[in-house]
Amino acid sequence: MRVAGSAAFCARLLRRQLVLGLRRPVEIGNPLLFFAMVIALFPLGLGPAPDTLAAFAPGILWIVALLSNLLTSEGVFRSDFEDGSLEQLLLAPQPLYLSVLAYVLAQWLLTGFLLGLLSPLFALMLGLETGAIPALASSLLLGTAVLSLVGGIGAALTVGLRRGGMLISLLILPFYMPVLIFGSGAVQAALAGAPAGPYLALLGAMLCLAVALAPFAIAAGLRISVDA
C-alpha cells in the first residue's frame, strides 16, 4: 500500500477542512457577527461616552473574542465524528499529532485569524486609541491560536456527547483565563504607553506550550471518544 507522507497528508487535511469551512460561509460569519453584535451592544449598555468605552475596550474586546471562540471550538470534530470520517483518521498510519494540528490550524484560520484581522474595525467601534490597535491585533492572533488548541481538547473529549456545549465550557474555561489576562494586559499596557512586548512574549510562550502538548491531549481525547 502506498502511504501518504505526513506533510502531504497534513496539507490534504488542511485543504479539506478549509474547503469544508468555506462551503458553509454561515459558520465562518456567525462568530464574527456575534462579535460585532456584542461590541455594538456595549455602547448602549455602558453609555456612549468615548472615555468610558475606551477604558473598557481592551477587556470587552478580549472577553467577546474568548466567548466567540468558545462558540466555535465545540464543532471542530463533530461532523467527522458523526459521519465516520474520524474513525478513518484514527486508523490512518500518519501520526495523529500532526493530523490534529492540521484540524486545529484550519479551525483557527477560519475563526481566530479572521477575528484578529478584523479586530481593528471593532476596536474603532469602541473608540480604542489607534496606538493600541497593533497590540490588540497581535495579541488576538497569538491568543486565539492558544484558545483554539485548548478548545480542541474539550471538543475531542465531548465529541461523543449529545449536549457537550456546557460541559466543554466548564472543562476548558479555566485554561482560557491566563490567555485572557495576558491578552487584555497587552492592550492595556499599550494604552498606558508601556511596551506590550512582554505580554505578547508570554502569549507566544503559551502558544509554544499549547502547540507542543495540546495535540497529544486532543489525539487521546479523540481515541477515547471513538472507543466509547
Is residue 76 within a helix (H) or strand (E), and if so which, with residue range? Answer: none
Show the cell assigned to 168.
466543554
Q: Give the DSSP per-residue string, 41-53.
A: HHHHHH-S-HHHH
Minimum separation from the CB atom of position 199 to other proteins (A): 38
Minimal CA–CA distance to 204: which of 146, 137, 154, 134? 146
Query: Cell numbers 501518504 correspond to what residue?
Result: 4
User: Cβ of residue 11: shortest distance to other proteins, in angstroms?
Assistant: 10
Which 14-33 positions form the footprint of other proteins (CB under 8 A)? 15-16, 19-20, 23-24
Looking at 2-10, 29-37, 181-189, 196-204, which segment touches other proteins (CB under 8 A)? Answer: 2-10
Cβ nearer to other proteins, comparing 14 with 133: 14
Contacts of 176 (CB under 8 A, 6+ apart): 66, 70, 147, 150
Q: Report helix, strand or coil for 127.
A: coil
Q: Does 88 contact other proteins by CB under 8 A?
A: yes
Q: 36 or 223: whose CB is closer to other proteins?
A: 223
Number of residues that bind other proteins (CB under 8 A): 32
DSSP state, 1? Answer: -
Query: What does the alpha-carbon distance between residue 184 and residue 127 come to, in Å, rounded to a whole number?
Result: 16
Q: Whole-number minimum distance, CB 193 to other proteins, in Å?
A: 48
Task: Candidates 29, 84, 131, 198: give the one binding other proteins (CB under 8 A).
Answer: 84
Position among 49, 79, 124, 198 found at the interface with other proteins (CB under 8 A):
79
What is the contact surface with other proteins in residues (CB under 8 A)?
1-4, 8-9, 12-13, 15-16, 19-20, 23-24, 79-80, 82-85, 87-94, 99, 223, 226-227
